[in-house]
Amino acid sequence: MADYTKEIERRRTFAIISHPDAGKTTLTEKFLLYGGAINQAGSVKGKATARHAVSDWMEIEKERGISVTSSVLQFHYEGYCINILDTPGHQDFSEDTYRTLMAADSAVMVIDASKGVEAQTRKLFKVCVMRHIPIFTFINKMDRDARDTFDLLDEIEKELGIATYPVNWPIGSGKKFRGIYNRESNQVMTFSDTQKGTHEGQEENVDADKLVERSLADQEQVDTLGDEIELLDGASVSFDQDLVDKGELTPVFFGSALTNFGVLTFLEHFLKMTTSPLPRVADGKEIDPVNADFSAFVFKIQANMNKNHRDRIAFMRICSGKFDAGMEVYHVQGGKKLRLSQPQQMMADSRHVVQEAYAGDIIGVFDPGIFSIGDTVCATGDNFQYEGIPTFAPEHFARVSLIDTMKRKQFVKGINQIAQEGAIQIFQELKGGMEEIIVGVVGVLQFDVLKYRLTNEYNVEIRLETLPYEYIRWIENKDEVEVDKIVGTSDMKTVMDLKERPLLLFANSWSVGMVQERNEGLRLAEFSKN
């Protein structure tokens, strides 16, 4: 039992969030470099000869230089076992990110030093706040010209409504970037060239008063640093670990992921300030990660990670206990006992079979088509459900039809599998079949991904016709109302989802209010829970 407790206590599971292009995937690569998981860090916008980032494994990701699905990476560092959930930054894939945040215990927010807080950062941050998880901020790209440091902190506080505590402080930016001052030790960390960040750099700590003597900075920069630190000590809040744990105070770090500078310091501080896996709520009770038997929930399903095998992987976050390969578990939603087959841990698309895993870990198991997002599995004898993961309302709709009707079977299989992953939501006409379906997505880029994946993974060509609908509502009390007798408006359409739940589509928000007025007792919801 003691070993088992120790294993759980050394786990850290966090998600990295940011606006596109803030450097999130690059930062992930550098963590892996320090953890010894890779020998040379890749980059997202690499030359033809350069490596692609490990976490971008789909062809479409390598083509466009963006992440479109979350990936899970595990590595070991200084006695800790670290699970990183790298999320897509692009807003069109935010649904995947929301779900991934449900599996993390803390979040690392990457901010571009020249741009500050951007739209997507705001959105994702709100999800973190909703869950009250600790948030750590890494202000990236200090090797380029950055905005005033105080302005950046001020913006984080105003825009996101969270107090900041800078753990270190930059000296200059862009070409004049000289290093980072550590407030605790009164030392400045300087760094050497890291061959564009592909290798670990030599970082050196120098006393702040010796910078000029060693020609590492000019007198003006040292004077500016003295003034800024004085101002900072007088104005900023003091460090409070309790507030960090509640998600009300964010420790801030500076650096450059591209050149590896400041990444190691950040990682070491982060590991000290975060906690081991936290209890989760199931059926209104907290499930203790250490004392309880094995339990986990599915937060992501990914089809076709291996083209040769056409497989489906259900990603599970283990919430309590220990998992052993071959153990029998109970699938609560399916009401069945089963063995989780081919349990594996990932390094993006490469994987290895695991014999055991502990609370905090993420495992992928082969899914024969029985799991849905939000499902709970637990030790046999237990029967409880973790809280469902919200399904966000799509904002763009298109009618999808098949070009070659002979390929109906592949089309139905492909579209269902991609929908079960949660990348798209599919709806059918009330009396219609699967030949023509309506697809709803959070961002229009998802349509491109759908087209690409159906062509490349299922050999199916489709036609997409965009529809004018922008609003969708689930009927909460579907058993109390006659759906086909709802008095609607001219722009309303009734459809059903995969679970045969009725939904209403509207072209404008006025119609939503109108339908509620005309149908007394009708209750509509903006999102459903898986």
Residue 411, H or E segment:
helix 408-420
**Residue linked to tokens 């979350």:** 70
Out of 159-163, 223-227, 254-258, 304-308, least confident range: 304-308
The mean per-residue pLDDT over the stretch 388-397 comes to 77
- Return d(Cα 130, Cα 409) in angstroms, integer: 41
- Between 131 and 305, name the one with better pLDDT: 131
247, HSE (Cβ side, Cα atoms, 13 Å):
17
pLDDT at 313: 79
Same fold, 11-69+87-273 and 280-379: no
Residue-averaged pLDDT of the chain: 79
3-state secondary structure 207-275: EHHHCCCCCCCCHHHHHHHHHHHHHHHHHCCCCCHHHHHHCCEEEEEECECCCCECHHHHHHHHHHHCC
pLDDT at 50: 42
Judge contact between 316 and 365, C-beta under 8 A.
yes
Spell out where 2-131 has E strands.
11-18, 71-77, 80-86, 106-112
At a CB cut-off of 8 Å and minimum separation 6, what does 133 contact? 101, 104, 105, 106, 107, 247
Superfamily of chain region 280-379: Translation factors (2.40.30.10)
Binned at pLDDT 50, 70 and 90, residue 487 comes out as: confident
Judge contact between 202 and 222, C-beta under 8 A.
no
The mean per-residue pLDDT over the stretch 234-263 comes to 87
Structure tokens given for 300: 């992501």
The mean per-residue pLDDT over the stretch 129-152 comes to 88
pLDDT at 307: 55
Is the pLDDT score of 49 beyond 60? no
pLDDT at 460: 92
- Between 34 and 357, name the one with better pLDDT: 357
Q: Tell me the per-residue pLDDT of 286-331, one tens digit each, with 9 for 90 and over.
A: 889 988 889 999 888 776 555 555 567 788 899 999 998 888 999 9
- Return d(Cα 503, Cα 488) in angstroms, integer: 12
- Name the phi and psi angles at 11, rounded to 5: -85, 140
Superfamily of chain region 11-69+87-273: P-loop containing nucleotide triphosphate hydrolases (3.40.50.300)
N-term to C-term CA, the chain = 34
- Return d(Cα 72, Cα 317) in angstroms, integer: 11
| Feature table: binding site for GTP | 18-25, 86-90, 140-143
According to CATH, what is the number of the domain 390-529?
3.30.70.3280
Task: Compute CA distances 386 → 105, 131, 296, 375, 409, whole Å.
Answer: 15, 14, 8, 8, 34
pLDDT > 70 fraction of the chain, expressed in percent and rounded: 80
- Between 239 and 480, name the one with better pLDDT: 239
Domain ranges of the chain: 11-69+87-273, 280-379, 390-529
Structure tokens given for 514: 């109108």
pLDDT > 90 fraction of the chain, expressed in percent and rounded: 14
| Feature table: binding site | 18-25, 86-90, 140-143
Is the pLDDT score of 205 beyond 80? no
